[in-house]
């Protein structure tokens, strides 16, 4: 996201009328989620200051009032799964939702789909998008899935490795993990087995292990959705969303 992120953390870059991280918090708060754990580094205290002030701001959206924020620090860049593992002391024994602020979802049923699927399977559930030529180059090249369709559910069989280049689709479509994940404690178990031996622990190897155990499911979400963690994608999303207004 450079050069934009040199001036402000990418989580605070605007999307519509508010910072991206605030848009994601609102998305979750409107379905009744009240407890949030924000994982940052010690170089991103600006995020903590903004959110702490924002939830008490009388101009904040009503749905943000009364939410509870906890902050956790990952001071070495050791991957997304390691970041989640850093927050394990703040998690109780229940499952939890992971939401990355550079992934914007406009399907207002997306969280309900996760909750419904988890209630049915008691397993980890991820959101799945379809990517075709019109999305070519707009998403990171990782998390493409092979799957078994089970009615409204998908049981994920394999998850592709992360690759440095962007995902290019010349014809047809692929399905890719994107958006929110509702994870069981199995996720933390697998991280604990890997984090001692790896300098970086990303979420993809963890999801691959859970899929191999037959315990990873997916639900489809509808367009539009945007990966705004990459400058080209962020600019395209801003053009597409210039008329967006939050609920």
pLDDT digits (tens, 9 = 90+) for 64-106: 988 999 999 998 888 999 999 999 999 988 899 999 999 999 8
Residues 6+ apart with CB under 8 A from 221: 105, 107, 110, 113, 127, 128, 129, 178, 179
Q: How much is the pLDDT for 235?
A: 82
Q: What sign has the CA pseudo-torsion 131, 132, 136, 138?
A: negative
Whether the predicted pLDDT of 244 surpasses 80: no
- Report, as an integer, the average pLDDT of 212-228: 92
Whether the predicted pLDDT of 247 surpasses 70: no
- Report, as an integer, the average pLDDT of 107-133: 94
Whether the predicted pLDDT of 219 surpasses 80: yes
Q: Which residue has the higher pLDDT, 243 or 166?
A: 166
Q: Which residue has the higher pLDDT, 246 or 136?
A: 136
Question: 160-163, long-range: CB within 8 Å, 24+ apart, which pairs?
Answer: 160/204, 161/204, 161/208, 162/202, 162/204
Whether the predicted pLDDT of 243 surpasses 50: no
Question: 149-155, long-range: CB within 8 Å, 24+ apart, which pairs?
Answer: 152/117, 152/219, 153/117, 153/120, 153/121, 153/217, 153/218, 153/219, 154/128, 154/217, 154/218, 154/219, 154/220, 155/214, 155/216, 155/217, 155/218
pTM of the entire structure?
0.90
Three-state DSSP at 153 gives strand
CA distance 72 to 136: 35
Q: How much is the pLDDT for 140?
A: 83
The structural domains of the chain, ordered by start, are 4-240 (3.90.550.10)
Residues 38, 47 contacting (CB under 8 angstroms): yes
Q: What sign has the CA pseudo-torsion 235, 72, 70, 119?
A: positive
Tell me the pLDDT tens digit for each residue of 175-190: 999 999 999 999 999 9
Three-state DSSP at 148 gives strand
- Report, as an integer, the average pLDDT of 97-117: 92
Using DSSP bridges, classify how beta strands 140-141 and 18-19 pair: parallel, antiparallel or unpaired.
unpaired
Whether the predicted pLDDT of 5 surpasses 60: no
């Amino acid at each position: 996201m450079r050069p934009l992120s040199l001036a402000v953390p990418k989580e605070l870059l605007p999307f519509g009328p508010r910072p991206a991280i605030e848009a994601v918090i609102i998305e979750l708060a409107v379905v009744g989620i009240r407890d949030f754990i924000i994982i940052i580094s010690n170089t991103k205290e600006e995020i903590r200051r903004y959110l702490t002030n924002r939830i008490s701001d009388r101009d904040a959206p009503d749905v943000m009032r009364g939410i509870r924020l906890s902050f956790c620090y990952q001071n070495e860049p050791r991957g997304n799964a390691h970041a989640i593992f850093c927050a394990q002391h703040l998690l109780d024994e229940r499952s939890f939702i992971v939401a990355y602020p550079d992934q914007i979802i406009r399907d207002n049923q997306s969280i309900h789909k996760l909750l419904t699927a988890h209630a049915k399977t008691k397993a980890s559930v991820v959101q799945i998008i379809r990517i075709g030529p019109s999305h070519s180059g707009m998403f990171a090249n990782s998390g493409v899935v092979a799957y078994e369709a089970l009615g409204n559910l998908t049981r994920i069989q394999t998850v592709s490795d992360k690759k440095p280049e962007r995902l290019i689709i010349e014809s047809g479509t692929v399905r890719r993990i994107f958006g929110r994940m509702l994870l069981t404690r199995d996720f933390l178990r697998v991280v604990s087995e890997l984090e001692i031996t790896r300098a970086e622990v990303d979420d993809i190897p963890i999801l691959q292990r859970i899929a191999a155990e037959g315990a990873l499911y997916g639900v489809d979400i509808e367009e539009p959705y945007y990966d705004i963690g990459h400058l080209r994608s962020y600019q395209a999303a801003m053009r597409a969303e210039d008329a967006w207004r939050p609920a």
